[in-house]
Homo-oligomer: A and B are copies of this chain.
């Protein structure tokens, strides 16, 4: 028997992967969670049938969502991750020596529990003493923590169900208030090819709130379209104009100092979406 898992990427297109073994499948309080073992992509986490991460390509997403803001901020001490229950962002954050505390605010305890069990390469730093895990709603959390974080990373699922509020202007206002006076935030913001309206709306909302708003791209093989956007809102530091000579050497699989700037150079159709000249 062959078993294949099918991910609906858009209404009339799907990606399908051969599954060696289903490690866990459960209905959590919030979503349909599965971790499966595939031949070519290693272990794969799916939430509501959407691929969140695989052990083969997770480094692209986690390195880029973390190191762009953390190497932009000159001295990030306190970092918040909203979502990100797999722990990949926390793992990368804690590689930064300046970081004293990284809070993970994940709404679904089961994501953390199952990723700790089945994705140890990704979740390996969740037990680090510098990591504080909060099970709860990220929207509520940022509202209740003002002027506290140097960096906030919104590592969410797609803008549906529980995550929908993480793509709205009100949330970005609260993120702004939760950041210190020189804070910076980044969010994963989908494929500009498949969801141009989401990219446009988020960018426009963030730009109304933050003095510096930028979009950068990364090639993530297991995400729809493979070419993924991240939106940065920053109070003081421009991520594209960071002095890369001051960035310490750290072994990476995707991020490089040159790419730190080049990833902000956008194709014309994406410039058009966000209204960049």
- A40 contacts B18, C-beta separation under 8 Å: no
Contacts known (A193-B57, A225-B226, A262-B262); A219 close to B267, Cβ less than 8 A: yes
A173 contacts chain B at the CB level, 8 A cutoff:
no
Closest B residue by C-beta to A260:
B265
- A267 contacts B259, C-beta separation under 8 Å: yes
Q: Which residues of chain B are near A253, meaning CB under 8 Å?
A: 267-269
* Complex: A41 Cα to B12 Cα, angstroms: 9
CB distance from A164 to the nearest CB of B (A): 22
Tallying the copies of this chain within the complex gives 2
Q: Which residues of chain B are near A262, meaning CB under 8 Å?
A: 261-262, 265
A194 contacts chain B at the CB level, 8 A cutoff:
yes
- A15 contacts B14, C-beta separation under 8 Å: yes
Contact of A60 among B17, B219, B267 (CB under 8 A): B267
Interface residues of A in 238-273 (CB under 8 A from B): 252-256, 258-259, 261-262, 265-269, 271
* Complex: A194 Cα to B10 Cα, angstroms: 22
- A16 contacts B13, C-beta separation under 8 Å: yes
Q: Which residues of chain B are near A14, meaning CB under 8 Å?
A: 15-16
- B17 contacts A15, C-beta separation under 8 Å: no
A74 contacts chain B at the CB level, 8 A cutoff:
no
A191 contacts chain B at the CB level, 8 A cutoff:
yes
A221 contacts chain B at the CB level, 8 A cutoff:
yes
* Complex: A18 Cα to B14 Cα, angstroms: 9
Interface residues of A in 57-108 (CB under 8 A from B): 57, 60
- A40 contacts B13, C-beta separation under 8 Å: yes
Closest 4 CB pairs of A and B: A226-B226, A219-B227, A262-B265, A12-B18
Sample (29) of A-B pairs whose CB atoms are under 8 Å apart? A10-B40, A11-B39, A11-B40, A12-B17, A12-B38, A12-B39, A13-B16, A13-B41, A14-B15, A14-B16, A15-B15, A15-B16, A16-B16, A60-B267, A193-B219, A193-B221, A194-B221, A217-B219, A220-B226, A220-B227, A221-B226, A221-B227, A223-B226, A226-B226, A253-B269, A254-B267, A254-B269, A256-B266, A256-B267
Point out residues on A near B: beta carbons under 8 Å.
Answer: 6, 10-18, 38-41, 57, 60, 191, 193-194, 217-221, 223-227, 252-256, 258-259, 261-262, 265-269, 271
